Amino acid sequence: MSAVGLFYVGAVLFINGLMLLGRISAKSAGIFNILVGALQCIMPLMILAQSGGDPATLHATFTILLFGFTYLYVGITNLSGISGEGIGWFSLFVVMAAIYAAIDSFFAGDLTFGVIWLAWGVLWAMFFTLLALEKTAWTPFAGWLVTLWAIPTTSLPAVLLMRDAWVPGGAGAAGLSALLGVLAVAAWILAKRTSMPSGAAGGAVQELAGQPV
């Protein structure tokens, strides 16, 4: 994935996490989702157009479109007010793709990116749980998890890649796994302490799904 595009994925994940926590409106978040989604679609399509059908390029590029389609879908849904359960079921498809990408990264020797792909799979699984299964009780935890994992799984790796300081081996994977584990526990604790008015959790999910509240 392009390090530049990955950097801005961190921003949109952070915004979407705050949206789930009710700190940002769905329409306000929708604008940035469309901007980043468009970036994550245009860049890989440009690469594909110049690839000449090279299998390695095709394989390295298709995963970027998972992000592009997700954020365009979220942005359009939020701004238009259409039903958003499709985002949830699409997220399930992306979870399976993320598992494949993680396994591929592990076999390629990039253990750190394998961990990142598994983390992304968890985040997409959260959206599946909220939007497709309508388990709104998970909204505070999902909001905090997305918010806290946004930068460590996207923008920080992007900066390391751009500075040629990436650590693909076991040390990087172990360090990142420990950090994400601590942040997941923090998200759980914060979710328990997050005071949301009755029905607010469901309202946040409905906003994300493009439904009036």
The set of long-range contacts for 171-176, using a CB threshold of 8 Å and a minimum separation of 24, is 172/111, 172/112, 173/111, 173/112, 173/114, 173/115, 176/112, 176/115, 176/116, 176/152
CATH superfamily of 3-208: AmiS/UreI transporter (1.25.40.600)
> What integer is the mean pLDDT of 101-120?
97
Higher pLDDT, 1 or 125: 125
Q: What is the pLDDT of residue 6?
A: 93
CA distance 145 to 133: 18
Token pair for 69? 């389609």
Contact 128, 5 (CB under 8 A): no
Q: Which residues contact 52 (CB under 8 A, 6 or more apart)?
A: none
Token pair for 36? 């980043």
Higher pLDDT, 136 or 212: 136
Express as a percent the part of the chain with pLDDT over 90: 75
For 184-205, how does the pLDDT look when each residue is reduced to its tens digit (9 = 90+)? 999 999 999 986 654 555 555 6
| Range with lowest mean pLDDT among 92-106, 165-179, 199-213 | 199-213
Express as a percent the part of the chain with pLDDT over 70: 91
Secondary structure element (H or E) that encloses residue 32, with its range: helix 26-49
Closest CA to 17 of 140, 117, 128: 140
Confidence (pTM): 0.89
Among all chains, which residue has been given the structure tokens 């930068």? Answer: 151
Residue 172 has pLDDT above 70, yes or no: yes
Phi, psi torsion values for 108, nearest 5 degrees: -80, -5
Sketch the domain layout of the chain as residue ranges. Answer: 3-208
Higher pLDDT, 148 or 63: 148
Phi, psi torsion values for 168, nearest 5 degrees: -85, -10
Banded pLDDT at 213 (limits 50, 70, 90): very low
The set of long-range contacts for 44-52, using a CB threshold of 8 Å and a minimum separation of 24, is 44/2, 44/68
| Range with lowest mean pLDDT among 76-85, 106-115, 117-126, 200-209 | 200-209
Q: What is the pLDDT of residue 110?
A: 95
Q: What is the pLDDT of residue 126?
A: 96
